A and B are shown apart, each in its own frame.
Chain A
């Protein structure tokens, strides 16, 4: 975390963001998120968690009930900085009467990209997302995957400093997903900060430097992938049989038995060895002892079971504010 704490300038710094739709629907209930410059940040969470709402607040599509903080060092909604943001909305639609090239030119102009750069970028980006041969075809002839590729090109037309992607791999086949992943890594290398919303965990797991897990409008977990997956570990002890008889004693030691597998949910190696001693004392033969890291999916499922809120975050979860 040292690198992050030294930064005085977050790309995204959201403080206590709240959004209540109408009177009752509390989509966000006080979200704090910081994203360092040049990071790929993943916002995870089940459907309805409020991910899209948060992103829409960042891009001024939705008006927050309460929000403080900055995007690229300026208050949320700052006109000049919006020109430095690229945005791929969820379920995006584009005017069907435009061709791919026309669309990029149109949105480029709205983002105040000079004409020459617009043309050049359009050509380069269409090539980058493998859409060159469709450049002059009307958008209403595009498939869902092609729309998503065009959407990515659209989000990049202004060479953004901050790229905000809402479910970018939605509707893409596995090859398309891999392409997106590669593109993101490439952009990160070029210094772009990427804020990514996804409920598809495998995608995020592979590219994100840090993630937040949003559940019911609150950040339930936040940290680097390493922190999140290291903190919670379980051990599986595979035995050759006879463990069932020790169920009672094992339960006292905090282990559960399922057939020939004894599972112990603790990162504490000492306790694992106590259980091994217990098994050995009863004459049980041990075949293997495996540590098991929690996958992001496990953590997400766990987080969904009990949204934790701010107080419950571990010390490493929120990088200290500077």
Chain B
């Protein structure tokens, strides 16, 4: 009952934010745009036939064409609009949840309830994610329906993007909450969280660079340190790969980015990139549980730290 009350409250709170509606509108605009595009066997139509491009590249009748269409959603729509813009907006929107909770005069009543501080903290933490859950479900759910009804590609695995997005957000949200509990400042929480996002990705990006120059990484202390750090930190960059993997299960992977991104690369560069990507996928393919598990462990450590501070604090 108490948990449910906090969830409902968190939803009401987020609904009160402008950003909430900005995201909803964004979703509707994207869905509307998607509806204007139709994939036929031998052409792509825009605005219901007002403009057409011939070609079987996106034919929903062939396996390749289908994976192109899925790739469009998984590599473009979800990462850019939700994974990037969405997550940034959601970090901003949720940054003042804990500062609001801890405001003098507001927190008093809550702490006086028969709830216990650790539980209040945890419930509120989870409740803070309802915002993201709702937005992710709205976006992925509605684009899922467009994929199915309009583009005739039904991909149940695509719905896994919802929990994956919540997961990605939660890797960052814990930092936001920690800073908020410490400083009671939404601005500080936002800035530090965005910085942490970059920080989480940095070692992995650096490792990618090493992959391009295989000669450099033998017996390199820097390389080993980076690898260890990358193992401990939340793996925000794995999320899109997991999404692609689970969505395209059974269908050939990576066709979309390979064709688009590598069109201008020479043969050798392309092969290098290919190797790097395959390795990354292999590691993930072997163990997505490690990627998610270790990230959640990191998150749990941060949450426990924040909870401890919340618990000890006088209000």
Contacts and interface: CB of A to CB of B under 8 A. Distances in A.
Interface in A45-61: 56, 59-61
A102 B6 CA distance: 12
Nearest to B107: A61
Nearest to A27: B314
Nearest to B116: A79
Contacts of B107: 61
Contacts of A309: none
Interface in A106-122: 106-107, 109-112
B276 to A, nearest CB: 48
B5 A110 contact: yes
Interface in A74-91: 79-83, 85, 87, 89-91
A98 interface: yes
A246 interface: no
Given A92-B106, A109-B2, A59 B112 contact: yes
A61 B315 contact: yes
Nearest to A111: B113
A60 B4 CA distance: 23
A147 to B, nearest CB: 10
Interface string B1-44: 11011101100110110000000000000000000000000000
B103 A93 contact: yes
Interface string A241-280: 0000000000000000000000000000000000000000
Given A93-B105, A97-B13, A109-B1, A60 B111 contact: yes
A274 to B, nearest CB: 56
A89 B314 contact: no
Interface string B165-196: 00000000000000000000000000000000
Nearest to B108: A89
Contact of A92 (B1, B100, B105, B315): B105
Contact of A56 (B1, B8, B108, B113): B108
Contact of A111 (B4, B15, B16, B114): B114
A62 B313 CA distance: 8
Main secondary structure of the interface of B (DSSP, over half): helix
Contact of A61 (B1, B15, B100, B111): B111
A106 B8 CA distance: 9
A91 B103 CA distance: 11
A308 B144 CA distance: 74
A154 interface: yes
A111 B105 CA distance: 17
Main secondary structure of the interface of A (DSSP, over half): loop
Measured as residues with beta carbon below 8 angstroms from the partner, the interface class of chain B is: 20 to 34
A123 interface: no
B117 to A, nearest CB: 8
Contacts of A62: 314-315
A59 B1 contact: no
A110 B113 contact: yes
Contacts of A90: 105
A106 B9 contact: yes
A91 B104 contact: yes
A80 B114 contact: yes
Given A95-B13, A102-B12, A107 B2 contact: no
A224 B2 CA distance: 40
Return the 10 tightest CB-CB contacts between A and B, nearest first: A109-B5, A89-B108, A97-B16, A83-B114, A59-B112, A93-B105, A82-B114, A110-B113, A87-B112, A91-B105
25 contacts: A21-B314, A56-B315, A59-B111, A59-B112, A61-B108, A61-B112, A63-B314, A79-B116, A82-B112, A82-B113, A82-B114, A85-B112, A89-B105, A91-B105, A97-B12, A97-B13, A97-B15, A98-B12, A106-B5, A106-B8, A107-B109, A107-B113, A110-B2, A110-B6, A154-B109
Interface of B: 1-2, 4-6, 8-9, 12-13, 15-16, 100, 103-117, 312, 314-315
Given A93-B106, A96-B16, 15 more contacts: A59-B111, A59-B112, A60-B117, A61-B112, A81-B114, A82-B114, A92-B105, A92-B109, A95-B100, A95-B106, A106-B9, A107-B109, A110-B110, A111-B114, A112-B2
